[in-house]
A = this chain, B = another copy of it.
Amino acid sequence: MGLTVDTINQRVRNAEYAVRGELAVKSEEYRARLAKGDKSLPFDQVISANIGNPQQLDQKPLTFFRQVLSILENPLLLDKEDVLLNHLGYQSDVIARAKKLLASVGSVGAYSASNGVPVIKESVAKFIEERDGFPADPAHIYLSTGASSGVNTLLNVICASKKTGIMIPIPQYPLYTASLALLDATPVPYYLDEAKNWGTDLDTIRKSYEQGKADGLDVRCVVIINPGNPTGSSLPEDDIRAVIDFANEKDLLVMADEVYQTNVFVGKFHSFKSVLRTMQQENPGKYDKVQLASLHSLVGLAPEVEANVYKFVSIMLCAPVVGQCMVELMVNPPREGEPSFALYDKEYKGIFDGLQERAAALHKAFSEMEGVSCAQPQGSMYLFPTITLSKKAVDAAKADGRTADEFYAMELLKATGICVIPGSGFGQVEGTLHFRTTFLAPGTEWVGSIVKFHKDFMDKYR
């Protein structure tokens, strides 16, 4: 018989990862059919609003970054600096940066140290220092193959058994539940407060923790996603303080998923590290033992624990070096007065403003749709509206073997080619329905398609 689905690792079988599940696969089928000239579909393009993938849509790469990377890939270009400068529009700072990076990595085709190229980790530390106003130590920075890989590493080190409880927000990015399922550890869910723009609520967190303890779990970590995914929220400083205070009281490791920190439209991004350091300054001694892993740096981990983080990442050798170099460029972009600054600044602002405009336009459309309400867009690249559907629609979903939000998302895909993810993929309060959409797709036509589909759907199942 060999290997069958009944004999494989059942933790893999049971893991769910909605972001790349049935809807995403179906949308790719539609895309392939359209590419082959199929005219039988009621739409002429597929809009992938299911994952945050800006450059799959129309977002242009930043020129400075890509110019530097082109030289890293082909260092022989440095033999023709005059051609780069005079015929290809490369500025002198592009060439200088490429030389600096090549001097430290040697070749982007070589493995680096497992925790990352030292020079790049120094740039990251400097970036964190400038962001937070507190010192950062490159020794506690690990460059990973994307944030998903970083989360995977940390959870592998933290989760010791089925009794390990990890507090995760609901709704959450499903990487967390999927990774916990693979590791056979137990999620301890706490709900975000939709009425407070998907902020954290300390009472809820406390009750969830107590429930975890009552269930016999060793609750040892609280995960916060800020800016929010899928919620699009941005936490105020007071929420962050409350979480740190609670983590200190209960000896929890704080895992702060801060990958969307650049995309904040309302107020200002507060990093967990800067807030922790501020609290430590204000209350000498009180918060010294707080352990924090941000998806930028590790703070306060025991050296032997960190050694195991190192060992885990070393088993996969190292993160792709081109990606590591891209991190260096991201944390150390052209500064005012440097030759590439004007273009970089224009492109960067264009992307940021464009995202904010699209978020606002989509939010406005949702606010005018029957039975839909949506928190104000504050950051990241997502909106997570609530939808209220009729009993008739819920029954139709049941007959189709789906939850109501899955049914709604599938019908939306079939009618418009727009792929969103149902709220059940992220978790939602029992009895409520949501979906997550990115606001990355260009133009307004697709927003109009959602509005029209929604009206038809509501009418059909009234």
Contacts and interface: CB of A to CB of B under 8 A. Distances in A.
Given A106-B56, A146-B317, A302-B3, A83 B88 contact: yes
16 contacts: A2-B291, A3-B302, A8-B305, A9-B183, A12-B156, A17-B314, A20-B317, A55-B109, A55-B110, A56-B111, A69-B74, A145-B320, A146-B316, A148-B316, A179-B315, A182-B312
A34 B53 CA distance: 43
A8 B83 contact: no
Interface in A399-438: none
A149 B315 CA distance: 9
Contact of A8 (B13, B61, B182, B308): B308
A157 interface: yes
Contacts of A74: 66-67, 69-70
Number of copies: 2
A12 B310 CA distance: 10
A214 interface: no
B10 A160 contact: yes
Interface in A295-327: 300-302, 304-305, 307-308, 311-312, 314-317, 320, 322-323
Contacts of A110: 53-56
- Using C-beta atoms within 8 Å of the partner chain, give the interface range for chain A: 35 or more
Contacts of A7: 160, 218, 220
Interface in A377-415: none
A451 to B, nearest CB: 27
A4 interface: yes
Contact of A55 (B9, B83, B107, B178): B107
Contacts of A88: 77, 80, 83
A342 interface: no
A280 interface: no
A28 interface: yes
Contacts of A304: 4-5
A367 interface: no
A69 B304 CA distance: 40
